[in-house]
Amino acid sequence: MTSIELKNVSFGYTEDRIVLNDVSLVIDKPGFYCIIGPNGVGKSTIVKCLNKIIEPQKGTILVDGEDIKNLKYKDLAVKIGYVPVFSNDAFSMSVVDTILVGRFNHTKTCSRSENLRKVYETMRLLHIEGLAYKKFNAISAGQHQKVAIARGLVQETPVLILDEPTANLDVKYQVYVMEMLRAISEKKGMIVLTISHDLNITAKYAHQVIMLAKPGVVHAVGTPDEVLTQENITHVYGVNCRVINDDQCISNPKIDRSCNLSVPHIILGEALDIEEGE
């Protein structure tokens, strides 16, 4: 089982622009993890540190107990798959070839048709198999997002990190993708870590929520009903809200409604006064 551990990680783009402030975090069980928090609080920065895209000034990051400073990019890539918010603006390949890039680390061990099979299966999972030979630049932003998710999934890494996988998706696919990621984490025993802005969908599907707050600190970690409380949301986001426990959104007929299952539901109120600018 792959594990990720951040020990007292601090990162700043410049001396006076500190983004992460002594962040410590352990993720050592499979599941669907969501990082939430307001803008500029270091959500993407954590993810980039995990992939060695940037190097924290202080602290250590361990993957399977090994400091990633000592790992080569290619050794880390086999463990952690990452899908950045990507737009291919220069020259675009077909959707198939774009997703096939995600199989880069499997090109030596798998034949072309095996790789194409994996790509096709994943396109089918995201209902984009009809776009296979469309140019990446010729499809919509929501479709880009599905291609990006597919590219992450075909990497077949034990850890998959997605930066805002539901951005640009319509309501149905926001739900579908998050539900799917939860299902995949359970089915495959994977760690799926996403950055998310939608509190309600996060509340419904995340196993664990990691809530970051200014100035780049971990405010709370736990199950959605532990973390997504009215106090936490108001404190971290500066928005009034009500949290109700909703049992209407559970649709699985195998579950008896009377057993009092519910998920937290956040109803947002007005924004509070902004104390200081960024």
Partner 1 sequence: MPPTSSRERIMVFYSNSEEDPLLGSSVLESVNNWDEGVAEDDGRFTDTLRQYVRLIKFRYVFIAVCIVVIVIVAGFSMTLGPFNISFAETYEILWSHITGNAYPDTAKDYIVWETRLPRVIFGVFGGASLAVAGAVMQSILKNPLADSYTTGVSSGAGFGATLAMAAGFTLGGMTNVVIFAFLFSLIPTAVIVLMSKISSASPTTMIMAGIGVMYVFSAGTTVLMLWSDPQALSTIYSWQVGSLSNPNVLFKNIPIIVVTAIAGIAFMCAMSGKVNVLATGDESAKALGIDADNLRIILLLISGLLAAAIVSFVGIVGFVGLVSPHIVRMFIGADNRYLLPASAIFGGMLMIVADQIGRVALSTPLPVGVVMAFLGGPLFLWLILRRSKDVW
User: Which residues between 69 and 128 bind partner 1 (CB under 8 A)?
Assistant: 72-78, 80-84, 86, 88-94, 96-98, 101-102, 104-105, 107, 113, 116-117, 120-122, 124-125
* Minimum distance, C-beta of residue 122 to partner 1, in the bound complex (Å): 7
Would you say 18 or 101 has its CB closer to partner 1? 101
Would you say 8 or 137 has its CB closer to partner 1? 137
Using alpha carbons only, what angle is made at residue 263 by residues 261 and 265, rounded to the nearest 5 degrees?
145
Binding residues for partner 1 restricted to 135-194, rule: CB under 8 A: 135, 137-138, 155, 176, 179-180, 182-189
Binding residues for partner 1 restricted to 7-26, rule: CB under 8 A: none
* Minimum distance, C-beta of residue 272 to partner 1, in the bound complex (Å): 23
Can you tell me which of 252, 273, 276, 277 binds partner 1, judged by CB under 8 A?
252
Would you say 54 or 217 has its CB closer to partner 1? 54
Q: Exposed/middle/buried for 89, CB within 10 Å: 0-12, 13-18, 19+?
A: exposed
Largest Cα span, the chain: 58
- State yes or no: residue 29 binds partner 1 (CB under 8 A): yes
- State yes or no: residue 241 binds partner 1 (CB under 8 A): no
With a CB cutoff of 8 Å and minimum separation 6, the contacts of 20 are 9, 10, 11, 12, 42, 45, 46, 49, 56, 216
First-to-last CA distance in the chain? 40
* Minimum distance, C-beta of residue 212 to partner 1, in the bound complex (Å): 20
Residues 212-231: x where in contact with partner 1 by CB under 8 A, - otherwise, as a string: -----------xxxx-----
Can you tell me which of 14, 16, 254, 274 binds partner 1, judged by CB under 8 A?
254
* Minimum distance, C-beta of residue 2 to partner 1, in the bound complex (Å): 15
Would you say 17 or 254 has its CB closer to partner 1? 254
* Minimum distance, C-beta of residue 277 to partner 1, in the bound complex (Å): 27
* Minimum distance, C-beta of residue 194 to partner 1, in the bound complex (Å): 15
Using alpha carbons only, what angle is made at residue 147 by residues 146 and 152, rounded to the nearest 5 degrees?
95
* Minimum distance, C-beta of residue 220 to partner 1, in the bound complex (Å): 14
